[in-house]
Amino acid sequence: MEKFLFAGLGNFDPEYAGTRHNIGFDVVDAFAGRHGGNFIVRRLAGVTELKWKGRTVFCIKPTTYMNLSGKAVKYWVEKENIRLENLMVIVDEISLPLSKLRIRPGGSAGGHNGLKSVQEYLGTTEYPKLRFGTGNHFPRGNQVEYVLGKWKPEETALVSLKIERSLDALESFIQIGIERTMEQFNKLELTL
């Protein structure tokens, strides 16, 4: 049975819940919810194992904090013998507007500390990523406050819609692969 690993990046402490930087956690939580999974804290991560369309899907939320996410991702990739092309790391992305998702089969960390850690631990940039656009509407020098801030009330409906589209994209990735999923989802401009 083919296996997949979806790693949503974020910070495990409750104070970070609902922040832009924790959108990776929110996406894997929603994926688990859609498919009847429950997270249990195991080694280095909250973990759930799901069966869907003849595949096994592991979802993880690293407990290592964002900047050491790679430690958990590497552990679960190796433990479950996941091929890197079947890994999807889900992160927030300030260089994309809130209306966009971007899926890529590889590429640099682009300044994201969680992706830098994954790259360091895996020894490669060639693993799939789903970048969830957050926009970059913050004064110069306030990036940390912005990404660790909660979504604005006027953003929440669009964020919910984008989470749903992210789940569709993850299901598509499992069923038809990354190239066709990119064609379908990277061009979307999500609005209410």
Percentage of residues of the chain with pLDDT beyond 90: 98
Which residues are tagged catalytic? 21
On the question of pLDDT at 1 being above 90, the answer is no
pLDDT tens across 15-31, in order?
Answer: 999 999 999 999 999 99
pLDDT tens across 40-94, in order?
Answer: 999 999 999 999 999 999 999 999 999 999 999 999 999 999 999 999 999 999 9
Q: Is the pTM of this model over 0.85?
A: yes
Number of Cβ within a 10 Å radius of residue 98: 19
- What amino acid occupies position 146? Y
Enumerate the domain spans of the chain: 3-185
Task: Give every CB contact of residue 73 below 8 A, 6+ residues apart in sequence.
Answer: 5, 7, 60, 62, 87, 89, 118, 121, 122
pLDDT band for 175, please (50, 70, 90 cuts). Answer: very high
Which of helix, strand or coil describes residue 52? strand
| Level-2 CATH architecture, domain 3-185 | 3-Layer(aba) Sandwich (3.40)
Q: From CA 113, how far away is CA 22, in angstroms rounded?
A: 13
- Burial of residue 14, with CB atoms counted within 10 A of its CB: 0-12 exposed, 13-18 middle, 19 or more buried: exposed
